[in-house]
């Protein structure tokens, strides 16, 4: 039975001072049970104006963007640019374990809220600072964005087709990467505090974080002096891996790589193998099979040898792709998925949003969860747990908060202010 006490972070309080680059970090912590208090300026966080909106109605309480990133959080309004607002913030800091912020370096210091000052208020506080380029260095004051994070880390240069300029990724991937690593850093700091009793300041630069997510690209340059080329529809193999089918696209190396013989048999059973059984195509199919994960040797060596070998048979390789795709176009994604997987070949559909929502595997695992929105008298499906913990379950405890929804709970019931004092704070634009 799930209770508040067996949630992974049920005894942790987080103050959320994040913008788009860090809001996913605090969502991860909130859905693990942390008491995350989103501190918004009076009138609401600017992220509430980011669309799309429920029923296309532009309203601060109907942003699907804000809904997604702020599940399980509470909301209080607070103007930290005012002395009275900072006084209230310090009272909250005394109760907190973690502060996550995404301001420009030096901004909190200018308000008297540097890490050194925060330690005076709460010696065990953990401050997580997410920025574009870190708290030090020549770029510390430069403005950044998700696109800049991808560009300056080198990831952007690897995306797209060789003949075209670099292409961006969708869905704020740089922000997701830095937020995920910020959450990991916060959890490590909690562990260290449990052992030592000491809090700490975590400096999380988006550029540095994203470079780590670019895999071996920097190492390849240091070793060989070469940049990884943009591979388009290929995946390291010098041949296409994404093909059209009857109702969309599928991901599968030509003829299924190591499963080439099984795919040829399937094509043959339907009279669509054409001339691929001819002797002239045997060496090319052998190269395709050898370059698959079922081949021998290191993957890097296999890929290099495969690319070199396939270049010796350009016409034959192109013809194999053409016959392969002609077969795929006679089948739907579902037919190909089931048929290939039944034969032990890794082939999967390229899903769009509808396909993801309708995915049989996700539904069987109850991945999508219901979240009530009582203010709309509606229940919506949300993406579910990124991981499953058997003893300390993940859960979206409630929908994203309304602007200042928890002002009374936090300021009156917890901090002990009176109704009159709260009205005064509102009149003075402190909250």
CATH number at residue 172: 3.40.50.10540
Q: Looking at 304, 325, 356, which one is the last position of a domain?
A: 356
Asked if 404 and 390 count as a contact pair (C-beta separation under 8 A), the reply is no
- In whole angstroms, give the CA distance from residue 370 to residue 384: 9
3-state secondary structure string across 159-224 = CCCCCCCCCCCCCCHHHHHHHHHHHHHHHHHHHHHHHHCCCCEEEEEHHHHHHHHCCCHHHHHHHH
Same domain flag for 257 and 198: no
Please report whether residue 201 resides in a domain: yes
Residue with tokens 């929908």: 399
Question: Which residues is 63 bridged to in the sheet?
Answer: 53
Please indicate, yes or no, whether residues 291 and 150 belong to a single structural domain of this protein: no
- Copy the structure tokens of residue 339: 């048929």
Pair (81, 55) in one structural domain: yes
8 and 82 assigned to the same domain: yes
Question: How many helices (H) and strands (E) would you count in the chain?
Answer: 18, 11
Whether residue 222 is contained in a domain is answered as no
130 and 193 belong to one structural domain: yes
Inside any domain, residue 237? no
In a domain, 49, yes or no: yes
For residue 58, the Cα-to-chain-centroid distance in whole angstroms is 25
Exposure pattern of 244-268 as b/e (b: 16+ CB <10 Å)? ebeeeebebbbbbbbbbebbbebbe
- Both 36 and 176 in one domain: the answer is yes
Q: Residue 234: inside a domain, yes or no?
A: no
Helix (H, G, I), strand (E, B) or coil at 60: coil
Count the alpha carbons within 13 Å of 262 in the hemisphere toward its beta carbon. Answer: 15
Task: Give alpha helix (H) positions in 61-132.
Answer: 64-69, 83-95, 107-110, 115-121
Question: Do residues 10 and 69 both lie within one domain?
Answer: yes
**253 lies in which domain range?**
242-356
Q: Which of 324, 356, 388 is the last residue of a domain?
A: 356
Residues 159 and 190 in one domain: yes
What distance in Å separates the CA atoms of residue 204 and residue 145, rounded to the nearest whole number? 14
Q: Are residues 335 and 417 in the same domain?
A: no
Domain boundary among 356, 376, 399: 356
> Does residue 229 fall inside a structural domain?
no
Contacts of 148 (CB under 8 A, 6+ apart): 132, 174
The answer on 258 and 405 residing in a single domain is no
Dump pLDDT digits (tens) for 42-54: 999 999 999 999 9
Question: Is 107 inside a domain boundary?
Answer: yes
> Which one, of 175, 200, 66, lies nearest residue 123 by Cα?
200
Positions of the chain with pLDDT lower than 70, given as ranges? 1-5, 235-239, 291-309
Same domain for 351 and 421, yes or no, is no
Q: Which of 187, 165, 229, 169 is nearest to 12 (CA)?
A: 187
Cα-Cα-Cα-Cα torsion 217, 218, 223, 224, nearest 10 degrees, comes to 60
- Asked if 113 and 129 count as a contact pair (C-beta separation under 8 A), the reply is no
Residue 166 and residue 157: Cα distance in Å, rounded?
5
Number of domains comprising the chain: 2
Residues 95 and 144 both lie in one domain: yes
CA–CA dist 193, 197 (Å, integer): 4
Check if the beta carbon of residue 130 is closer than 8 Å to that of residue 160: no
Phi, psi torsion values for 248, nearest 5 degrees: 160, -135
Q: Could you tell me which of 332, 329, 361, 333 has the C-alpha nearest to residue 349?
A: 333
């Amino acid at each position: 039975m799930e209770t508040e006490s067996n949630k992974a972070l049920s005894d942790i309080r987080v103050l959320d001072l994040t913008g788009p680059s860090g809001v996913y970090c605090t969502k991860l912590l909130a859905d693990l049970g942390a008491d995350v208090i989103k501190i918004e300026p009076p009138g609401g966080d600017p992220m509430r104006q980011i669309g799309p909106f429920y029923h296309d109605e532009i309203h601060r309480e109907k942003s699907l963007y804000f809904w997604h990133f702020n599940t399980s959080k509470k909301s209080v309004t607070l103007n930290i640019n005012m002395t009275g607002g900072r006084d209230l913030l310090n009272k909250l800091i005394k109760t907190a374990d973690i502060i996550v912020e995404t301001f420009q370096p030096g901004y909190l210091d200018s308000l008297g809220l540097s890490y050194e000052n925060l330690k005076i208020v709460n010696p065990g506080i953990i401050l997580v600072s997410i920025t574009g380029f870190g708290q030090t260095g020549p770029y510390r004051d430069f403005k950044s964005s998700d696109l800049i994070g991808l560009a300056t880390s080198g990831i952007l240069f690897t995306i797209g087709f060789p003949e075209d300029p670099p292409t961006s990724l969708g869905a704020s991937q740089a922000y997701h990467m830095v937020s995920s690593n910020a959450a990991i850093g916060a959890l490590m700091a909690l562990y260290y505090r449990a052992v030592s009793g000491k809090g700490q300041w975590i400096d999380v630069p988006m550029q540095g974080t994203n470079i780590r997510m670019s895999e071996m690209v920097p190492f390849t340059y240091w070793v060989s002096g070469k940049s990884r080329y943009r591979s388009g529809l290929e995946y390291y193999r010098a041949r296409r891996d994404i093909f059209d089918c009857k109702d969309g696209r599928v991901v599968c190396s030509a003829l299924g790589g190591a499963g080439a013989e099984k795919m040829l048999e399937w094509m043959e059973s339907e009279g669509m193998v054409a001339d691929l059984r001819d002797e002239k195509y045997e060496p090319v199919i052998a190269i395709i099979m050898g370059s698959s994960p079922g081949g021998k040797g290191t993957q890097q060596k296999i890929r290099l040898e495969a690319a070199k070998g396939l270049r010796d048979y350009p016409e034959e390789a192109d013809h194999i792709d053409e016959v392969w795709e002609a077969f795929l176009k006679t089948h739907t994604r579902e037919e190909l998925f089931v048929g290939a997987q039944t034969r032990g070949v890794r082939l999967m559909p390229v899903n769009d949003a509808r396909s993801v929502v309708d995915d049989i595997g996700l539904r069987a695992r109850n991945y999508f969860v219901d979240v009530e929105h009582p203010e709309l008298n509606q229940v919506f499906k949300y993406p579910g747990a990124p991981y499953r913990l058997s003893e300390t379950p993940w859960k979206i405890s409630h929908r994203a908060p309304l602007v200042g929804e928890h002002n009374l709970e936090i300021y009156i019931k917890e901090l002990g202010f009176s109704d009159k004092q709260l009205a005064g704070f509102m009149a003075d634009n402190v909250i």
